[in-house]
Chains A and B, each alone.
Chain A
Amino acid sequence: MRAPFARLTAVFAGDRQADRVVPPTGIIARLTGFTAAAMAFLAVFALALSLASGRLAERWSSALANSATIRISAPAGQMETQTRAVLRILKTTPGIASARALTREEERKLLTPWFGPGLALDNLPIPQLIDIRETGTGFDAEGLRQRLSAEAPGALLDDHSRWRRPLALAADRLRLLGLISIVLLAGAMAAMITLAANAALAANAQVIRVLRLVGARDTYIARAFVRRFTARTLGGAVAGTGLGMLAVALMPSAQPDGGFLTGLGFTGIRWLWPLMIPPLAGLVAFAATRVAAFRTLKGLS
């Protein structure tokens, strides 16, 4: 464990003389920085997507576990009787913490997004809704359905599982896709840095030969390249992450009725998560360049 750490600290400690023995790699180094910045920018969005999906999945799962609705559709004359009957049944049903009938005002609010404000609810055959809160153990949905059909034939139990479960599953998958995207971005970055390092090593074959001839160890030569590519990648990733975080911060803030996209930003301590991207990019660059450098050096006498 100590040896890899020592290798890492040796890279970041810097060595001005060692850096000078390898000539500047010009366009290759600049492209490495740019690509790292672009990858980090995309990684910030993938991370934001993943975290937002996680929040959504949790919210939906939690709602799924704790609530249900009963809808009563009955002729106007029977509505009140059936509502009372349903509330009575619910009172005696194990696993139900509370149940209450929504007021006309609450129902109007629920329908406003679809019908607009100023809805004359009294003129429409709107069903009565009963909101149920469960205890931690939950209730026997099938048993409740049978009791309702016997005592309040217009009542229909909706335990939300029909639509909340696939949505929670979709949100979970979206979170997974976000994480896979981050891993793929890291892999693409490693591949890109390996190619760039190989090109730089090939372009400096004569320099490496001279260094070997005057007694340079492979570690010394590799470190000069590793330090250069790690620094370029780190610099690019810092810039890309900064821009990505700024772009996320400038997105519309989360609104309760704003849907999924307005909740894409980071919240609270989660703003620290994207700060992990530059060091991770640096680690990827360190490992990729080191492997490429030692593989090339082994082929030289």
Chain B
Amino acid sequence: MIDFQKVAYSYGGGELLSEVSLTLAPGSFHFLTGPSGSGKTTLIKLCYGELLATAGRVNVFDADVRSLSRDGVAAMRRRIGVVHQDCQFLDHLPLAENVALPLTVSGRDADAADLADLLTWVGLKPLSAQRPPELSGGERQRAALARAVIMSPDVILADEPTGNVDWEMSQRLMQLLIELNRMGKTILIATHDLNLIRSTKSQVPARVLRIRNRRLQLAGSDL
């Protein structure tokens, strides 16, 4: 699905990621951890082409991201659901229309019943007419997850999806992601919450990747 080959990313004269090699196989579940500022968000952005590697090669769905046209990047992003750290909503649209946005921009109509089911699944059905600024942090995270899965993408990337929510809500969000993984979706979650990783690993065979000193390594029992 996603394959990094000796990828580096530099910004402002300094190298943020170096020699990163990574393969996300179909149906796999990965955590990406590391201290704040270590490059987790950068790595996620490299996966969906918001950033381009300064060295090495990023292949997504067997295509080099660098070689994709702008329409090609758009088509690729329709196959990847992303839960952004800051959610990235359109504040002038109600929640339901924000969740359906990936369908809207691809020229498809959202089936009302399917949309209602999805909002019920994330527990936001009663809030579907609210606008994003009226929602709490947890509600926004769940709405972002709903938007990420509405196109039934092959890959779901989540950047600190539990960053703004309490433990109970973070468990609920993780259950949703575990459920999606069981449906065959490839999941990559960036988080620095080790307790969350431990509790999830007890339910799903997840691999944990850690960014340390600009390089990516597989975390082991030291978690």
Q: Which residues of A contact B (CB under 8 A)?
A: 17-18, 20-21, 23-24, 207, 209-220, 297-298, 301
A-B contact pairs, 14 of them (CB 8 A): A17-B104, A18-B104, A21-B104, A210-B89, A213-B48, A213-B84, A213-B88, A214-B147, A215-B77, A215-B151, A217-B70, A217-B105, A220-B105, A301-B50
Q: Using CB atoms, name the residue of chain B closest to A297.
A: B70
B20 at interface (Cβ–Cβ under 8 A)? no
**Complex: A4 Cα to B117 Cα, angstroms:** 41
Scan B85-96; emit 1 where CB is below 8 A from any A CB, else 0.
Answer: 000111011000
Q: Which of B130-165 contact A (CB under 8 A)?
A: 147, 151
Cβ-neighbour of A217 out of B50, B71, B88 (below 8 A): B71
Scan B46-87; emit 1 where CB is below 8 A from any A CB, else 0.
Answer: 001111100000000000000000110011011000101000
Q: Using CB atoms, name the residue of chain B closest to A211.
A: B105
B101 at interface (Cβ–Cβ under 8 A)? yes
Contacts of A220 in B (CB 8 A): 105, 107
Q: Is B101 a contact of A21 with CB atoms below 8 Å? A: yes
Which of A23, A209, A215, A218 is most buried by chain B, counting CB atoms within 10 A of its CB?
A215
Q: Is B71 a contact of A215 with CB atoms below 8 Å? A: no
Q: Which residues of B contact A (CB under 8 A)?
A: 48-52, 70-71, 74-75, 77-78, 82, 84, 88-90, 92-93, 97, 101-102, 104-107, 109, 147, 151
With contact pairs A20-B93, A21-B93, A209-B88 given, residues A214 and B105 touching in the complex (Cβ less than 8 Å): yes
Minimum CB–CB distance for B177 against chain A, Å: 19
Q: Using CB atoms, name the residue of chain A closest to B75.
A: A215
Contacts of A20 in B (CB 8 A): 93, 97
Minimum CB–CB distance for B179 against chain A, Å: 22
Contacts of A214 in B (CB 8 A): 77, 101-102, 105, 147
Q: Using CB atoms, name the residue of chain A closest to B71.
A: A217
Q: Is B50 a contact of A215 with CB atoms below 8 Å? A: no
Contacts of A23 in B (CB 8 A): 90, 92
Cβ-neighbour of B90 out of A17, A207, A212, A215 (below 8 A): A207
**Complex: A209 Cα to B90 Cα, angstroms:** 10
Cβ-neighbour of A215 out of B78, B84, B109 (below 8 A): B78
- CB-based A-B contact count at 8 angstroms: 61
Q: Is A301 a contact of B71 with CB atoms below 8 Å? A: no
Known pairs A17-B109, A301-B52; list 16 more (Cβ under 8 Å). A21-B105, A210-B101, A212-B74, A212-B77, A213-B48, A215-B74, A215-B75, A215-B151, A216-B105, A216-B106, A217-B105, A218-B71, A218-B74, A220-B105, A220-B107, A301-B49
Q: Using CB atoms, name the residue of chain A closest to B148.
A: A214
**Complex: A220 Cα to B106 Cα, angstroms:** 9
Contacts of A301 in B (CB 8 A): 49-52
**Complex: A263 Cα to B104 Cα, angstroms:** 55
With contact pairs A20-B93, A21-B101, A301-B50 given, residues A215 and B88 touching in the complex (Cβ less than 8 Å): no
With contact pairs A17-B104, A21-B104 given, residues A213 and B93 touching in the complex (Cβ less than 8 Å): no
Contacts of A18 in B (CB 8 A): 104
**Complex: A244 Cα to B106 Cα, angstroms:** 43
Contacts of B109 in A (CB 8 A): 17
Contacts of A17 in B (CB 8 A): 104, 109
Minimum CB–CB distance for A138 against chain B, Å: 67
**Complex: A213 Cα to B89 Cα, angstroms:** 10
Which of A18, A21, A23 is most buried by chain B, counting CB atoms within 10 A of its CB?
A21
Q: Using CB atoms, name the residue of chain A closest to B51.
A: A301
With contact pairs A213-B77, A215-B106, A220-B105 given, residues A21 and B50 touching in the complex (Cβ less than 8 Å): no
Contacts of A24 in B (CB 8 A): 92
Q: Is A213 a contact of B50 with CB atoms below 8 Å? A: yes
Q: Is B70 a contact of A213 with CB atoms below 8 Å? A: no
Q: Using CB atoms, name the residue of chain B closest to A216.
A: B105
Q: Is B92 a contact of A217 with CB atoms below 8 Å? A: no
Q: Is A217 a contact of B74 with CB atoms below 8 Å? A: yes
8 nearest A-B pairs in the assembled complex, by CB-CB distance:
A216-B105, A215-B78, A215-B77, A23-B92, A214-B102, A217-B74, A210-B88, A17-B104
Contacts of B48 in A (CB 8 A): 213
Contacts of B82 in A (CB 8 A): 213
Contacts of B104 in A (CB 8 A): 17-18, 21
Contacts of A211 in B (CB 8 A): 101, 105
Q: Using CB atoms, name the residue of chain A closest to B150.
A: A214
Contacts of B84 in A (CB 8 A): 213
Contacts of A213 in B (CB 8 A): 48, 50, 77, 82, 84, 88
Contacts of B51 in A (CB 8 A): 301
Q: Is A215 a contact of B93 with CB atoms below 8 Å? A: no
Q: Using CB atoms, name the residue of chain B closest to A17.
A: B104
Q: Using CB atoms, name the residue of chain A closest to B107.
A: A220
Minimum CB–CB distance for A36 against chain B, Å: 25
**Complex: A29 Cα to B45 Cα, angstroms:** 34
